[in-house]
Amino acid sequence: MPQREITFISGGELLAGEVWLPVGSSPHPAVLLIGGTMSDTRDGDPVASLYGKAPRHGMFRVTAERLAQAGLASLRWDKRGVGASTGPPRDTHSDVWTDVEDAEQALLTLSQVPEVDATRIAVLGESAGGYFLCFLAQRTNLPAAYVLQAALYTSIPKMIEFNYQRVVDYAARGPAEAKWIEAVAPRVYRAGQHWRAYIAAAAQGVDVYEVETPDGPFRAELRRLKQELAYPPAEQFRYIQKPTLVIQGHQDLNVPPSDCYQIVAALRAAGNQAVTLEVIPGADHSMQQAAPDEETRLRERISMESFKRPYVEVFFTALTGWLTKQLSGI
């Protein structure tokens, strides 16, 4: 399948990505892929400066390949300061509004690709990418459809508790568990010990939370958290007024799986009745096959070893089926 490097300007930075095209005559329907908090590279992988040495899973690369096989073009890109894109480091400059601005410029870039039908573009937001997608929908009427993949409805403080408190609780089981946590997830463990304090600091308008600990200084940049607290995810779905697929892994340990039902209700309450819900059995947050038992799922989520698991094929079938049906009838 044809692949093309592409660059575009956003906020004075040069962002780099790839357009994948299906085989066959054009123009093609297309999908813009917006990554979430841990999907920093064009392939959907986290960067080491933020999350340590997490295994690469290449979720967006695999998704782009499956989309092309189904006759759908796609665009994905390296976020600011990541990979081939210019910009300051994300660990100190992560910002909701620049991410939304970049997504808008990526959408315009995709619409101008000669082989793409600009009237048949869908936008997929994965995890926090679904949050960015909501603001994008407020800014532009260009997309014909939206996909919310493992998106968050729960408040940001509850999401942070959902992700970090279990790490602290696991370490509290005993010395062996604490030693393991220190070895595989030291950054998350530190954040887990301070999440209540730095949320409170952000709510008070503090830009940086810093504290001395027996293990050394702990520092958290709060700019993005302040933005997220000011604009709760649950209040943003009203901007999406185009056909929407809400797709969620049943074994998600990043976002509460039940959030998908609240998202559907919020969309419909705001007047969007063209909503489809797909819950993927056995899939985790990245739509990879979750371990069969709860203890292994928890340990693999904490260590990110879950990124090594195979993808759930039902996810790609549901995604490409809905997109093909939705974009072919326009």
pLDDT digits (tens, 9 = 90+) for 6-18: 999 999 999 999 9
Token pair in block for residue 172: 């509290």
* Contact between residue 110 and residue 124 where contact means Cβ atoms under 8 Å apart: no
The pTM of the full predicted model, rounded to 2 decimals, is 0.95
Write down which residue in 195, 227, 259 finishes a domain: 227
Q: Both 48 and 165 in a single domain?
A: no
Q: How many helices (H) and strands (E) does the chain have?
A: 12, 10
Same-domain check for residues 125 and 258: yes
Same domain, 208 and 68: no
Output b/e per residue, 120-153; b: 16+ Cβ within 10 A.
bbbbbbbbbbbbbbbbbbeeeebbbbbbbbbbbb
- The answer to whether residues 172 and 293 touch, using CB atoms and an 8 Å cutoff, is no
Instruction: Please report, for the domain that includes residue 272, its CATH number.
Output: 3.40.50.1820
Distances (CA, A) of 49 to 74, 102, 249: 27, 21, 27
Taking the C-alpha atoms of residue 158 and residue 175, their distance in angstroms, rounded to an integer, is 27
Our count of domains for the chain comes to: 2
Same domain (yes/no): 42, 84? yes
In sequence order, what are the beta bridge partners of 249?
A: 280
Nearest alpha-carbon partner for 312 in 292, 274, 273, 284: 284
* Domain end point (choices 191, 209, 227): 227
Cα torsion at 87, 17, 43, 107 (round to 10°)? 100
Specify whether 86 is located in the same domain as 102: yes
| Same domain, yes or no: 150 and 200 | no
Which residue type is seen at 127? S
Confidence of residue 307 (pLDDT cuts 50, 70, 90): very high
Angle, CA of 306, 3 and 140, to the nearest 5°: 80
Alpha-carbon distances of 106 from 69, 127, 324, rounded to whole Å: 22, 18, 21
The reply to whether 220 and 239 lie within a common domain is: no
pLDDT at 13: 96
Residues 272 and 197 occupy one common structural domain: no
Is 213 found in the same domain as 132? Answer: no
Please tell me the predicted confidence (pLDDT) of residue 49: 58
Q: List CB contacts of 129: < 8 A, sequence separation 6 or more.
A: 33, 34, 35, 36, 39, 103, 149, 151
Q: 81-91, pLDDT tens digit by residue?
A: 999 999 998 87
Same domain, 274 and 164: no
Shared domain for 313 and 303, answered yes or no, is yes
Q: Which domain holds residue 252?
A: 3-155+232-328
Final residue in a domain of this structure, among 174, 192, 227: 227
Running DSSP on this structure, what letter comes out for residue 283?
Answer: B
Residue 303 has pLDDT above 80, yes or no: yes
Residue 154 confidence (pLDDT): 95
Do residues 121 and 220 touch, judged by C-beta distance below 8 A?
A: no
pLDDT tens-digit readout, 123-158: 999 999 999 999 999 999 999 999 999 999 999 999
111 vs 19: CA distance, rounded Å: 11
Has residue 224 got a pLDDT over 80? Answer: yes
The reported pLDDT for the residue numbered 50 is 55
Which amino acid is residue 147, in one-letter code? V
ω into 233 cis (within 30 of 0)? no
